[in-house]
Amino acid sequence: MTDRIVFEDVSRFYGEVLGVNKINLSIPPGITSLVGPNASGKTTLMNLMTGLVRPSKGKILVRGVRPDEPEALFKLLGYATQFDSFPRGLTGFQYVHSSLLLNGMAEQEAERKAWAAIERVNLVEAAKRKVDAYSKGMRQRIRLAQAIAHEPVVMVLDEPLNGLDPLVRSETIALFRESAARGAHVLVSSHVLHEVDMISDQVILLANGYVVAEGAIRGVREEISDKPLEIVVRCDQPARMAAALFAHDHMVEARLHADGLGLMLKTKSPSTFHKQLNRLALDGIEIESVAPADEDVNALYEYLIGEEGGTK
Amino acid sequence: MAVYKRSYRSYQGELTNPRFRFLILPKYAYERVFAPKYMVALLVAAMFFPIGCAAYIYLLNNLSVLTSLGLPIPSFLKVDATFFRFFLNFQGSFAFILTTLIGPSLVAPDLANNALPAYFSRPFSRAEYVVGKMSVLVLLLSGITWFPGLLLFGLQWSQAGWDWTSANWYIARALLFGGLAWVLLLSLVALALSAWVKWRTVAGGLILGVFGIGAGLATMINNILQTDWGSMLDLSRIMNTIWSSQFEIENSTGLEPFEAWMAFFAICTVCLLMLERKIRPKEIVK
């Protein structure tokens, strides 16, 4: 379990205000997205694992290291905050370089690694300019550079894709994937759900300081049994298929596509549905494709958080 | 489900001694502090008086060789406790001016820029941050107060010989402790006020104000209540009492050395408490 980030019954209160409550998580390496509306506890969760705030209750271990052991923790961990967080007057290079010096690297090593990180985020040309003069996207990139410069195995990145143009966004996602592929933890918080869907191995959905769901997106969707699964089927006889399926209880709804070559189905029992689908295929219905329509973060967000009054 | 290789290794190289990492802060701070030319000019100006004093000590000692023939040296020309007390007073004023200019630019911009999480998401504690920022002022102010004072004492020692030194040893102690106390007080007040108000200009004004308002309040309390206890709010009077006691010179501040030290430690404690409250990683709750 030492390669996991573990939260055991963690709560954090700010006076009478709830930050997060009774969090139990065991996060494996890979890309994990924290998703939730404003004030759901995403940043608090990140601050807790980086030791910037202490839990009011419970225990946290980041790959076996407690967040109140900064020397050991920050060897493993790099953090990029969501908001502008720069000492005034520093150039991009100085910002990354001084961060590395604070991490305990010797002057020359810090310089080498600072340039390497700046190169990874494509900011070499602007590195000698003051961060104050950077655009939002450049600030985001230099923040990312300081978070990854000391080669951490745990990257905690608060809204790292905000303000990035599409090209840099895809380069950044590639960087996350590459790190995750080598066994690092990449924890990102995001509001952009289609991106979360695209990049995450798993999601943690938060609302009002509580974890409402966690795990691989598909697994989480299967757990929501009170919401019928939406499936889109493209086939040559959609009307016949709908009639055959409605002979059974699990079917909730079927809507034929306007082109007459497909239908959208809602079923309470995906396993029964798939068995019947096989039978219908053997009976001569030609099936072109079968795809879940609500097995994504967007749907999870709506089912689990949207109903609780969260904002999408 | 993605399958990952476990090939990623964090940095395993040697690390620097954590005890001295606070010195990274002055390294970058000095670059910024001395970017304006007037700051360099001010620092150079702060060196004129010590250089003049050094020349004076040299000349006076060589003059005394001549006067050993029988001519007396007037008492106001002597290099003694009063001379060094005046030196510390003069250089202390320069230190105050530098503090009002440099002090506000140390912590206030970090707080205004929400930069504290950037420092504390490193193996770097709040105490190290405060010590690091303080060291910017402590090193600089020491360089124009007690350090040149001790050099002058050494020069006088080399010129006047062991007899003078053994009789005036307390002057070196007074320069060191009196100078350090002033530097410490200025640094703490500057840091605490700039952490509290966050704005550089306001913080600079406040540092000036604390000394001015403190003196005014002290006089008011003393006059209304017919007491001397109000002087414990006057930072200049506190330091004058401490210096006078250190240099074993009579003082007319109305404060006893013990009271001055009590007030000194109380002010330092308040400043540390203010810093403890303000220097925290920003907690942004989403």
What does the pLDDT look like over B19-65, one tens digit per residue? 888 888 888 888 888 888 999 999 999 999 999 999 989 888 887 66
CA pair distance A54, A48, nearest whole angstrom: 6
Hey, which residues 13-52 in chain A have their CB within 8 Å of chain B? 14, 17, 19, 29-30, 38-44, 47, 50-52
**Structure tokens belonging to residue B124:** 């770097």
CA pair distance B120, A47, nearest whole angstrom: 11
- B285: chain A residues, CB-CB within 8 Å: 14, 17, 19, 39, 41, 43-44
A38, A52, A101 ranked by CB distance to B121: nearest: A52
pLDDT tens for each residue of B121-131: 888 888 999 99
What sign results for the dihedral spanned by CA atoms A13, A19, A22, A26?
Answer: negative
A219 interface with B at CB cutoff 8 Å: no
| Nearest alpha carbon to residue A248 among A265, A224, A229, A272 | A272
CA pair distance A100, A110, nearest whole angstrom: 5
Q: Chain B residues with CB-CB distance to A under 8 A?
A: 1-2, 4-11, 13-16, 18, 21, 24, 28, 32, 109-110, 112-125, 281-286
H or E segment and range at residue A210: strand A210-215
ipTM exceeds 0.85: no
B4, B114, B122 ranked by CB distance to A84: nearest: B114
Average pLDDT taken over every residue of chain A: 85
Predicted pLDDT of residue A222: 66
Q: What SS3 class is residue A80?
A: strand
> What separation in angstroms does the CA of A91 have from each of A87, A217, A239, A241?
10, 40, 65, 65
- A150: chain B residues, CB-CB within 8 Å: 10-11
Task: Please answer whether residues A32 and A45 qualify as being in contact, where contact means their C-beta atoms are separated by less than 8 angstroms.
Answer: no
| Paired sense of beta strands A154-158 and A210-215, if any | unpaired
The dihedral formed by the CA atoms of A9, A14, A18 and A20, expressed in degrees to the nearest 10? -40
The type of residue at B190 is A
Burial of B201 (0-12, 13-18, 19+ CB in 10 A): exposed
Predicted pLDDT of residue A279: 86
Q: How many residues does chain A have?
A: 312
Question: DSSP letter at B72?
Answer: P
Q: What percent of chain A has pLDDT over 70?
A: 92
- A106: chain B residues, CB-CB within 8 Å: 14, 16
Burial of B244 (0-12, 13-18, 19+ CB in 10 A): buried
Position A79 confidence tier, pLDDT thresholds 50, 70, 90: very high
| Nearest alpha carbon to residue A266 among A249, A289, A284, A279 | A249
CA pair distance A96, A127, nearest whole angstrom: 9
Write phi, then psi, for B222 (nearest 5 degrees).
-60, -40
Residue of B24, B122, B126 to mutate, testing the A interface (most A Cβ within 10 Å of its Cβ) = B122
> What separation in angstroms does the CA of B13 have from each of A65, A104, A107, A122, A183?
19, 10, 13, 25, 20
pLDDT tens for each residue of A233-250: 888 888 888 888 888 888
A94 interface with B at CB cutoff 8 Å: yes
